Amino acid sequence: MKFFIDTASLDEIREAHDMGVLDGVTTNPSLMKKEGAEDFHAHIKAICDLVDGDVSAEIVSTEYDAMVDEAREVAQIADNVVVKVPLILDGIKTIKTLSDEGIRTNCTLCFSPTQALIAAKAGATYISPFIGRLDDISSDGMKLIREIVQIYDQYGYETEVLAASIRHPMHVVESALAGADVATMPLDVIKKLLKHPLTDSGLERFLTDWEAYQQEIGQ
């Protein structure tokens, strides 16, 4: 399973990259706003330079012609940029055009299996089902991941399932069990993935015993 970090913060990306487990980055307009990134292209370029893997950069146009123009410009930023396109009618048409041109896309804001099926048919590189936002409205985000994986497997679609809107480690575990290709998550969730209280208490005990033993043998 690939791990992406869901942020526009260069510091957070550096920290996750330094852990040695980072495969890519996803951003969105809200994350760019949070980061205060005024020059969109320059900021995306800086992120692309930091990581080897794919970096999703979202377009903000909502009509086909403008979406295609904006997407082509974004695609020029770096070799590892992936154009993030919202799952609306003009977005699907845009993905089809970009796919025919060899431009890679991440189809975002997916909340149903039918949306995911259409995105795959249009040739999206990634589909981003939003788990947490479905859970927020008392729906089942994980069920959506399982259904999309099953549908894509059944028909051999190459579109990768990118589990998004992840809020906690169990979303990652269940996405992995369901066969999602990628999990994108905030830095704090990445850090939580390696924590276990028995690891911490076990290490403390080992080190204490070792110290006592060293004193016993006069080291």
Which CB, 6 or 174, lies closer to ligand E4P?
6
Amino acid making up residue 155:
Y
Known catalytic residues are 84
CB 181 within 8 A of CB 163: no
Residues 6+ apart with CB under 8 A from 116: 110, 127, 129, 144, 147, 148, 151, 152, 159, 161
Query: Which residue, 97 or 165, is less far from ligand E4P as judged by CB?
Result: 165
Query: Cα separation of 116 and 71, whole Å?
Result: 20
Find, among 74, 93, 94, 92, the residue nearest to 82 by Cα.
Answer: 74
Contacts of 46 (CB under 8 A, 6+ apart): 10
Is residue 123 within 8 A of residue 102, CB to CB? The reply is: no
Minimum CB–partner distance for residue 184 and ligand E4P (Å): 5
Question: Which helix (H) or strand (E) segment is 12 a member of?
Answer: helix 10-18
In the complex, least distance from residue 215 CB atom to ligand E4P, rounded to whole angstroms? 50
Exposure string (b/e) for 156-182, b if CB count within 10 Å is 16 or more?
Answer: ebebbbbbbbbbebebbebbeebebbb
**Closest CB to ligand E4P among residues 28, 175:** 28
For residues 33 and 196, which CB has a smaller minimum distance to ligand E4P in the complex?
Answer: 33
CB of 57 to ligand E4P, least distance (A): 11
Q: Which residues bind ligand E4P (CB under 6 A)?
A: 6, 26, 28, 108, 128, 130, 132-133, 164-165, 184
Query: What minimum distance in Å lies between the beta carbon of 23 and ligand E4P?
Result: 14
In the bound complex, what is the minimum distance in angstroms from residue 206's beta carbon to ligand E4P?
38
Structure tokens at 105: 């896309």
**Closer by beta carbon to ligand E4P, 28 or else 115:** 28
